[in-house]
């Protein structure tokens, strides 16, 4: 599963579909089916200014190139080469002591990572973060992330008009759900770039517990994911659902567990072996097939979940339809 001290496999011609999580693609399909979503897209697109976004970063952050943050730039070029990305979004380092990054924009995405990430992450972890953000850009997430930012601003501004802002709140909730799933996509892109699951897990542990890993046990961190999912009772299940509603990212232990599940399923290793969809075939992809794939994913995830609520629902299902088995 790991590739220590070896040059990464170059994934020539790879389509972003190779790393896109089915729940991400399914959420986008569902989002587009929302009543009025196309109207919201057009209205917000007319309000947003690509030039304004770029000027904000150009004037308030450091543009990364061979002259500024040169080592970060080299890492950026390396992950782009591994994922066979030739058109790179502009990259900036923004002053922020926390770990993290951002991909935003409409026609020309912009990638930004925090100064804290540059200071705290080792070279491999930094490459994972850069590839994570690049994965967002290549998968076309930048438009919807920009939309989410504007929808949340508009919703806040219209909070005094509860009736008038209901539609925006529905759109915002759908976008938040999509964004959580899109992070799983970007994590997969990051893993394909560094080609070492331990690197991805270390970064997620840093996000959960701060920059210092000297007192962190990675195996124990992964065990937390199992305890988080299966521990407690129905009250904990409902509390988790309520907590996630306001989060833009799934919690770090869940993201780590999702990545390890992807690795153990064999799909990750198959991609490194050359078995992946090609971008040259993207135009022939069926949207309905993507929706069905998302539905299968949710069904399989539900059937293997050890969450108390999911376990109770499965027991009720088996009592109502004894002998039934998952498709």
Run means of pLDDT, 10 residues per run, the chain, 327 residues: 69 93 75 62 62 87 97 97 95 95 85 96 96 93 72 59 55 71 93 96 88 81 78 61 62 88 92 93 72 66 56 57 51
pLDDT for position 107 = 74
Q: How far apart are CA 42 and CA 38, in angstroms?
A: 6
Element (DSSP H or E) covering residue 228: helix 218-230
**Exposed, middle or buried by CB within 10 Å (0-12, 13-18, 19+), for 324?**
exposed
pLDDT for position 1 = 46
pLDDT for position 29 = 65
pLDDT for position 92 = 98
**Cα separations in angstroms, 107 against 94, 101, 102, 144, 229:** 21, 19, 16, 11, 38
Q: Are 182 and 141 in contact (CB under 8 A)?
A: yes
Q: Which of 271, 279, 277, 267 is nearest to 85 (CA)?
A: 279
pLDDT for position 2 = 47
Element (DSSP H or E) covering residue 62: strand 62-63
What's the predicted TM-score (pTM) here?
0.79
């Amino acid at each position: 599963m790991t590739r220590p001290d070896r040059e990464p496999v170059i994934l020539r011609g790879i389509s972003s579909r190779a790393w896109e999580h089915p729940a991400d693609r399914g959420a986008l399909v569902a989002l587009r089916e929302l009543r009025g979503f196309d109207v919201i897209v057009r209205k917000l697109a007319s309000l947003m200014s690509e030039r304004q976004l770029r000027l904000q970063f150009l004037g308030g952050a450091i543009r990364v190139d061979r002259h500024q943050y040169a080592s970060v730039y080299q890492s950026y070029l390396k992950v782009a080469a591994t994922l066979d990305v030739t058109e790179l979004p502009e990259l900036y380092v923004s002053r922020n002591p926390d770990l993290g990054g951002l991909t935003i924009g409409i026609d020309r995405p912009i990638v930004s990572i925090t100064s804290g990430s540059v200071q705290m992450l080792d070279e491999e972890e930094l490459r994972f973060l850069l590839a994570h953000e690049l994965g967002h850009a290549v998968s076309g997430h930048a438009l919807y992330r920009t939309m989410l930012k504007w929808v949340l601003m508009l919703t806040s501004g219209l909070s005094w008009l509860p009736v008038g802002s209901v539609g925006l709140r529905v759109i915002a909730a759908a976008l938040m759900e999509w964004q959580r799933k899109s992070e799983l996509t970007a994590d997969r892109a990051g893993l394909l770039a560094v080609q070492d699951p331990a690197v991805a897990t270390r970064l997620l542990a840093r996000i959960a517990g701060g920059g210092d890993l000297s007192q962190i046990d990675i195996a124990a961190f992964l065990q937390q994911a199992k305890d988080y999912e299966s521990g407690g009772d129905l009250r904990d299940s409902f509390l988790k659902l309520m907590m996630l509603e306001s989060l833009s990212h799934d919690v770090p232990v869940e993201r780590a567990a999702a990545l390890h599940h992807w690795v153990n399923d064999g799909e990750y290793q198959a991609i490194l072996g050359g078995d992946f969809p090609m971008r040259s075939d993207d135009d022939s992809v069926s949207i309905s097939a993507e929706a069905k794939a998302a539905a299968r994913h949710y069904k399989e995830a539900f059937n293997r979940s050890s969450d108390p609520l999911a376990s109770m629902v499965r027991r009720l299902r088996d009592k109502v339809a004894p002998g039934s088995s998952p498709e």
